[in-house]
Amino acid sequence: MRVLPLLPLLLSGWFAVPAQADDAQDWLKRLGQAEQQQSYQGTFVYERNGSFSTHGIWHRVQDGKVRERLLQLDGAAYEVVRADGRTECVTGKFISGVGDVADTAARQLDLQRLDDWYSVTRTGDSRVAGRPVAVIALTPRDQHRYGVELYLDRETGLPLKSLLLNDKGQLLERFQFTHLEITPPDDSQLKPSGQCRAVAVADDASPSIKPAHVWHSDWLPPGFELLSSGVRRDPKTKSEVTSLLYDDGLTRFSVFLEPLKGAAVPDMRLQLGPTVAVSRHLTTPDGDIMATVVGEIPMGTAERIALSIRAGQAETPSQAKP
- For CATH 3.30.200.100, the residue range(s) in the chain are 215-311
Q: How far is CA 11 from the centre of its chain?
A: 34
Q: Which pLDDT belongs to residue 100?
A: 44
**Is the pTM of the predicted complex or chain greater than 0.85?**
no
pLDDT of residue 315: 52
Q: Is the pLDDT of residue 208 over 70?
A: no
Start-end of CATH 2.50.20.10 domains in the chain:
7-198
- Listing from the earlier edge strand, what are the strands of the sheet with 147-153? 118-128, 131-140, 147-153, 159-165, 171-181, 40-48, 51-62, 65-72, 79-83, 86-91, 197-198
CATH of domain 7-198: 2.50.20.10
Q: Would you state the pLDDT for residue 17?
A: 34
- As its CATH architecture, domain 215-311 has 2-Layer Sandwich (3.30)
Portion of the chain with pLDDT greater than 90, in percent: 53
- What number is the average pLDDT over the span 60-65? 93
- Angle at the Cα of 76 from the Cα atoms of 72 and 80, rounded to 5 degrees: 45
d(CA 166, CA 274): 8
Give Cα 263 to chain centroid, integer Å.
32
Q: Is residue 121 scored above 50 in pLDDT? A: yes
Is residue 310 very low, low, confident or very high in pLDDT (cuts 50, 70, 90)?
confident
- Mean of pLDDT values over 227-252: 86
Confidence of residue 263 (pLDDT cuts 50, 70, 90): confident
What pLDDT does 108 receive?
Answer: 57
Bigger pLDDT: 214 vs 295: 295
- Tell whether the model's pLDDT for residue 283 goes beyond 90: no
Neighbours of 126 (CB within 10 A): 13
DSSP lists the bridge partners of residue 279 as: 268, 292
